[in-house]
Structures are given as structure tokens and as C-alpha cells.
Amino acid sequence: MVATPKASMLLRLTCRRPLLLGHLLRSFRGVSGVSRGSPIQWARHYSEGCGTLTLQNTFKCFELETSPPMDVELSRDDALDLFTKMVEARRMETQAANFYKQQKIRGFCHLYIGQEAIAVGMRAVMRKQDSVITAYRCHAWTYLMGVSVEAMMGELVGARSGCSRGKGGSMHMYGENFYGGNGIVGAQVPLGTGVALAHQYRGDGGVCIACYGDGAANQGQIFEVYNMAKLWCLPCIFVCENNVYGMGTRADRAAALTDYYMRGHYIPGLWVDGNQVLAVRSATQFAIEYALCKGPIVLEMNTYRYMGHSMSDPGISYRSREEVQKMREKRDPIASFRKQILDLCLATEEELKALEDGARKDIDEKCKKTLTEREVDLIELAADVYARNLEPRIRGVSGYTLEHQKLSEVCLGKPKPTPACAMKDVPVGDAALVAAQAAAKKAAEAKQAAEAAAKGGAPAGAKEAKPPAAAAPNKPPAGGAAAPPPPQPPIDYMPTEIIKVKNKPTGNN
């Protein structure tokens, strides 16, 4: 069953008199006999109820007997929450773009501007046991899954306060039940299928949402995990965020079938207007219930990205400025949802403006704060590389040989702190690092000299050459007291338990 392809949304007000009266009063604002404050007061008073929206032409079904409900309820609280989160997500991405232009962010940076309704709408109905994994356009998802603005932006600028300790950057962010942020195109989908298998194995009632783009949809591994997920009836929701362009290539130039929701063949699919947050929310609720009962389902979220593929892509060599501006005017997710809220009298224009200003100010202050955070020190370059380090040292990454170490174990004689105090920073200075490197160099030279002497052999009657003091730092002096060990740079403690995803499902953040 395939519905009408044209995507739009019509609003139908409920027949409740309070809502209609508030709507009428708004239209007479400024007319003699009605104060300018009255419509706002009426709207606030009667917005405590719910409005009903009738969604039309926002879904298309493939191999589905039923579809998501077309009539959706929207309360004032839900409306303001969804609106605020979309504004916050866009503001964070705007600040990320500014930081990149100021060279505060290095490497890759892929922005989510224009696609906010997808992450916000899906997150609104996810439960505490559900999980999600996505590609490299992951900043909004990171924030919505409970990572603070400071931790997310700190990761972008390489600060120690980042959610991946400043070592992951834009594409490798993680949080509670959030498995990234992945840099390889399409590689996160098999991982998400494995997470769905874990949900099934544990019997925790959770589903995994595996997001990917239209460019990744042509990867062979996608079709492989379609088969595996259907074969084992896994609780997995495959979400193709079709933003029209895979890097600089339009979808119809790269795919023989651009109806991505039909690609599962033996897996049912659902096309969704991904720029309507309520349509996304309704479709996700439907998909969760379906996946728990019948197994995998494919969702195609039709959307559009305003920015280039990444910050290094101006985004106008393969499309016109007029095309982007047209999409901003007609299908912007925030602007369209604002209109729906106003039409249902769930809030006033002044209230929405105040929410926007407050959200932007809050995000700006938190982003500015991240610029004052310390960057990751060089000594941490070889820390926490592997869970079990088979080799004691790592070579070839700098002018020095660095020791493999775990921040949770290297506390320099301090007792292992509890997670409550684990975030306290212990300064790591350049002077300490230089001293440690110098001591290590002297020890290596002494060891080489000792080995050379052992190979060559000492002449008869000759006194054995004494190695430098650095070669045997713990040898007791004449007084009998043990000499102190060579200076080492202190490493601030941060247990991996703080940043890894726990096996046991926990509550929402």
C-alpha cells in the first residue's frame, strides 16, 4: 500500500470552544475594546488542553497492513519541549560552524542544520531501555541522549572535558545507550544490528535505532544486515535519513531505487516527512511497537541539509543557492512547527520568542565556556588505547616512546577515588612532561650503555663501569634509604566507567 506521494501537513483544530475562542481573540489583537494583553492571557489560559493535528500525506507504507495514526494529540508542554530542543540543536550546530571557522575545531565537522526534527522527534518517544547509533552527523543526537552541551562542544574543540576525553572529535561521541558517532560510511548499521541482538538476548525489551544516510544506503553491508535482522527477528529500526545529497551527488544519480523505505524487500518500510517533528514522533512510536512484536522495519526520513556535506564543502557547487533558500522557506522544521503551535493556540508568539532567545543565550554561554577548558596532554596519547594492552609501549606517534597506560590505574600512588570524585582534575603541565621525557631518555641511554658493555666484555683487572644514576634510580645509597623514583608526570584520574556505555539499561538522562 502506497499513499499519495505529495508531502504536506494540514491542521485541524479541535472543536473545543476555548481553543476556538483563543484563536478568535488572537485575530482581533489591537482592535478597539480588546486590550493587547487579553489575547495572550486567553491563549495561555486555554492552552492547558491539547490540540489535535491531522497528518495528511506524511506517510507512505510498504508491506504494512497498518500505518501510524493520522490524528495526533499535542499538549502545550510537549509542544514547547520539542520546539526548544530543535532550537537548541540548531544553535549548537551554528556555534560549531563558528568555532570551525575560527580554527577552534580541527578535522572533520558535519552539521545537522535542517534535519533537527528527526533526532528530536525520535528521541521524544524513545524509552530508557532503547538505544541508538548513527553516523558522523551526530552532534544533535549526542546532546539529546543526555550528554551536556559542555561535554559535546568540549569534544569538538579537543578539551579534556569532552565526552570522549577530547580524543574522539566530531565523529566519535558516545553516551548512555548512545553508541556513536561513527566515521566510516554505513559501518554503524551492522553495529546497530548487533546492539539489537543484545537487546533480544538480554530480554530487556529495548530496540536499537540504526541511522544512516542516503549515501550509505547503497553499501552492501546494509543489505547483509537486513537479511540477518529479518532472519533472527531482531528489534531493530533502520532509519535512512535521506537529505537528498550523498556528499556532492544527488540521490537519483547514485541509486537505481530512491524509495529507500522499499529496499528491505522482506522487511516492511515506511516513508516519513522528516521535516515534520510530529510525523517523526508518530512514526517512531509506531516503529518501536512494530519492532518489538514483528522484528525489523525500515524508516525513510525525507529531509534536507542546509549546509554542505561537511564544513570543508561550501554546498553550492552541486546545487544552487536558490534551491537551499526555497527549502528554508517552505520546509524548515522549526518554522513549520512554530506555525502549528500558534495555530493551536498552545503558546503565543511572545512566548516562543522568549524561548528562542533563552535557548540561544544558554547555548552561547556554555559553548563559550568550553574554549577555556584545557586541551588533552600529550602524555594521554597512549592512554586507554586498548582494554588489555598486549604491548607495554607505543612507538612512532611522537618523538618519544610512550607507555600504554590506563587512566583508571595510573594514579601515582593515590588511592583509587570513587566515581563521585573521579572528575577532579590534577594539573598536567608541560614542565612535568619534559622532565619525564628527559628521565626516560637518560634511562634508555644507560640501558644501551650497559648492554654494549655486556656484549663487549670488560678487560681483565679493569673496573666495571658504573651506569649513570638514572639507570638504577631505586638503588639504596650509602645511608641505606631507598632513593626516590625518577620524576613522572602526574596523570589526572578518570575511570573508564564514567565514559563507557553501561551494559545494564538505566533511566533517561
pLDDT tens digit string along 448-461? 888 888 877 544 44
| 23/345 Cα distance (integer angstroms) | 6
Least confident of 183-187, 313-317, 381-385: 381-385
Mean pLDDT, residues 120-149 taken together: 97
> CB of 51 within 8 A of CB of 74?
yes
pLDDT in tens, 436-450: 667 777 888 888 888
pLDDT in tens, 140-197: 999 999 999 999 999 999 998 999 989 899 999 999 999 999 999 999 999 999 999 9
Structural domains of the chain, with CATH: 17-372 (3.40.50.970), 378-441+488-500 (no CATH)
pLDDT grade, residue 215 (50/70/90)?
very high
Average pLDDT across the chain, whole number: 80
Structure confidence at residue 1 (pLDDT): 44
> CB of 332 within 8 A of CB of 298?
no
| 17/27 Cα distance (integer angstroms) | 15
Structure confidence at residue 435 (pLDDT): 61
pTM summary value: 0.72
| 175/180 Cα distance (integer angstroms) | 8
Tell me how crowded residue 175 is: count the other CB atoms within 10 A of its CB. 24
Least confident of 23-32, 42-51, 290-299: 23-32
Among candidate residues 83, 41, 68, the one with its CA nearest the CA of residue 332: 83
Least confident of 9-13, 66-70, 111-115: 9-13
> CB of 201 within 8 A of CB of 505?
no
Least confident of 123-137, 371-385, 402-416: 402-416
Q: H or E segment at 133?
A: strand 131-133
Q: H or E segment at 232?
A: helix 220-232
Structure confidence at residue 384 (pLDDT): 81
pLDDT grade, residue 24 (50/70/90)?
very low
Among candidate residues 320, 319, 275, 287, the one with its CA nearest the CA of residue 116: 275
Structure confidence at residue 478 (pLDDT): 54
pLDDT in tens, 53-87: 888 889 999 999 999 999 999 999 999 999 999 99
Structure confidence at residue 455 (pLDDT): 76
For the four alpha carbons of 319, 320, 323 and 328, in that order, the dihedral sign comes to: positive
Question: Is 284 a residue whose pLDDT tops 90?
Answer: yes
| 330/336 Cα distance (integer angstroms) | 8
% residues pLDDT > 70 (the chain): 73
pLDDT grade, residue 241 (50/70/90)?
very high
